Amino acid sequence: MGKPIYSCEEHIEEALDDWVYGVETVPEFTLVDKSENLWITCGYCENRAIYMVGNECSDTKCRS
């Protein structure tokens, strides 16, 4: 399981590519909660992240 990648709108394709090539699974896309007073920075630039690319599934939580 890989570490989640935070991304702005502009870099979402790069985040998807990095996840797929690094973890070799299809990621889940989650919107970052803007209701809290948190500023999570995009992993590719200094803009505010609006997506988290990752997967909550692990060997102990999900089985196919």
Q: Tell me the pLDDT tens digit for each residue of 6-54.
A: 999 999 999 999 999 998 888 888 898 877 667 899 999 999 999 999 9
pLDDT given at position 33: 80
Q: Is 6 exposed, middle or buried (0-12, 13-18, 19+ CB in 10 A)?
A: buried
pLDDT, position 11: 97
Residue 1: pLDDT band by 50, 70, 90 thresholds?
low
Strands (E), 1-64: 5-7, 28-31, 51-54
Which of 9, 49, 53 minimizes the C-alpha distance to 29?
Answer: 53
What is the pLDDT, as a whole number, of residue 26? 85
Residue 36, pLDDT score:
64
